[in-house]
Amino acid sequence: MKKKGLMGALCSIFLTVSFLNAAEANKSAKPEANSTKKTVSSSKKSSIEEAKKLLEEMNLKKVYEAAVNSSTQRLVRGNSKFKKVEGKIKAFYNKYIGWDSMKDDLAKLYAKYYTADELKDIIAFYKTKTGKKVLATMGKLTYEGQMLTRNKLVPHIKELNNILESAMKADNKQASKKENNKTKK
């Protein structure tokens, strides 16, 4: 199978759940106070429990199931020989990035950036009409936003290649000069 097909399959999972990584970009989050370990631990456990409730409210189990199915189908469509091992491919995805594999880590990720009270607020919002609409459209918005980005970049990919090639040539020239200077000494 072409490398492109495999990458496409892997990307489909990341496209489906990429909105989960938005919190990671927020590096300005305040670190937790270093009070007693017991308080931090209790607070963190409470946040993790609320995060689990949030993930349930967001119906992420279905999102992950769809991502696993989509990735499996993409691989199978990319190479008909893989139809024979479709079940194994799906099992592979489920084993490493399926819902059961991801849910606890996702809860910890959310708890890293949100307190239990903040998570309760988010859950309350998602229960509103507007919150439900946000959940219903989030995947589409993420996907369409990524397609907008892709469509803006693809026509200019040669320009990027020129920049990269120029940098590589300059780096190669500089490396050659250093090597020549070493051999002269």
Number of domains in the chain: 2
Same domain as 70, residue 15: yes
Residue-wise pLDDT tens for the chain (185 aa)? 444 444 444 444 444 444 334 334 434 444 444 444 445 578 889 999 999 999 999 999 998 999 999 999 999 999 999 999 999 999 999 999 999 999 999 999 999 999 999 999 999 999 999 999 999 999 899 999 999 999 999 999 999 899 999 999 988 888 887 878 777 76
Same domain as 97, residue 173: no
Residue 127 · residue 57 · CB < 8 Å: yes
Separation of alpha carbons 89 and 6, rounded Å:
12
CA–centroid distance for 109 within its chain: 12
Same domain as 153, residue 119: no
- The pTM assigned to this predicted structure is 0.61
Same domain as 152, residue 121: no
Maximum pairwise Cα distance, the chain: 75
Same domain as 171, residue 96: no
**What is the DSSP secondary structure assignment for residue 58, as one 8-state letter?**
T
Could you tell me if residue 180 is inside a domain?
A: yes
Compute the half-sphere exposure of residue 165: CA atoms within 13 Å on the CB side of its CA. 6
Could you tell me if residue 179 is inside a domain?
A: yes
